[in-house]
Amino acid sequence: MLFGCIIATAQLIAARADFCHVQERGVIRRARPGANSIAGVRQICEATETINHGNAPMKFARTALLIAGSLALLAIALIYAGVFNVGADTPHWPLTYTTMNLIRARSIAVRARDVPAPQLDNPALIATGARHYAAMCVECHLAPDEKESDIRTGLYPQPPDLTRHRHANPEETFWIIKHGIKMSGMPAWGKTHEDPIIWGLVAFVQKLPELTPAEYKSLVMTDGHAGMPGSHDHDHAHPSGHSHRSNQPHTDKQ
């Protein structure tokens, strides 16, 4: 019975089509079902498989474009719906946080790889960095006798506590201080300070975790800080709009 149906179908196809065009690898091949109807069916099946196989890359590309377009439309809809909360008191989603950390780490590592570092164990350089740290950084990154600050508490992501954490790579620390980090509250101090000042900060924060509160205060007061002759008031604006005042020799960019 099944064999008879196959023969009848083949004869019907042979009667309706004298030949079929088959495109394979850019060449048109004519396949004529001959007297052998089964062979004609086989030729038609092979031709169909060849056409389907040739269209597979196109079908894949169309499917990929459809998926990409759908995701783009979904992203636009989510943005306009205000689904993402930009408030600093609401943490990122875990995937967002992990992705941003990876992007930040790789971006800094790539751009800091060719930064030439000076000798960072110079006491004068460290003392200079200590004074600028007290004026520019302590509100966010703390001092050895501090646990928290009002500005630091409200920042997200929270700045690292540099009294406990030492960045292993001084070149990366320099790059971060000079260029800042977007969407983090970390300013680009290179816009207002020369490289030697920034290297002083790098030298100091490398040493900071080892300092006691008394040693920290001693370094901060070294070389004319706190109103010695030849110094004057100097404002350093914080990204939040609040400024820290200090008395120190003016060595910043104008």
Q: What's the rounded Cα separation, in Å, for the pair 197 and 124?
A: 11
In DSSP terms, 235 is beta-bridged to 245
- Of 52, 34, 53, give the one whose Cα is nearest residue 43: 34
* Total structural domains within the chain: 2
62 and 102 inside one domain? no
51 and 109 inside one domain? no
190 and 105 inside one domain? yes
Q: What is the dihedral of CA 35, 39, 43, 45, to 10 degrees?
A: 130
Question: Is there a contact between 201 and 133 (Cβ–Cβ < 8 Å)?
Answer: yes
71 and 101 inside one domain? no
Q: What's the rounded Cα separation, in Å, for the pair 120 and 239?
A: 27
Question: Is there a contact between 178 and 189 (Cβ–Cβ < 8 Å)?
Answer: yes
Q: Give this prediction's pTM.
A: 0.65
pLDDT at 165: 84
47 and 171 inside one domain? no
206 part of a folded domain: yes
84 part of a folded domain: no
Residue 170: Cβ within 10 Å count: 19
Cα atoms found within 13 Å of the Cα of residue 19, Cβ hemisphere only: 7
87 part of a folded domain: no
Cα–Cα distance list, 25 to 14, 45, 51, 53, 58 (Å): 25, 17, 10, 10, 14
Cα–Cα distance list, 100 to 156, 172, 173 (Å): 13, 17, 18
- Of 148, 124, 121, give the one whose Cα is nearest residue 219: 124
Domain that holds residue 31: 2-77
Of 19, 52, 77, which residue is a domain's last?
77
For residue 206, the one-letter residue type is: Q
71 and 105 inside one domain? no
Question: Is there a contact between 248 and 225 (Cβ–Cβ < 8 Å)?
Answer: yes
Mean pLDDT by 10 residues, the chain (254 residues): 46 45 43 54 61 72 92 94 93 94 96 94 95 96 94 94 89 97 95 97 96 95 48 40 42 44
Residue 94: Cβ within 10 Å count: 8
82 part of a folded domain: no
- Which two three-digit tokens encode residue 212? 């006691």
Instruction: Specify the residue for token string 């975790």.
Output: 209
83 part of a folded domain: no
- Which two three-digit tokens encode residue 50? 């060849």
52 and 125 inside one domain? no
217 and 110 inside one domain? yes
107 and 159 inside one domain? yes
Q: What sections of 81-194 are H helices per DSSP?
A: 94-112, 123-136, 138-141, 150-154, 170-179
Residue 169: Cβ within 10 Å count: 15
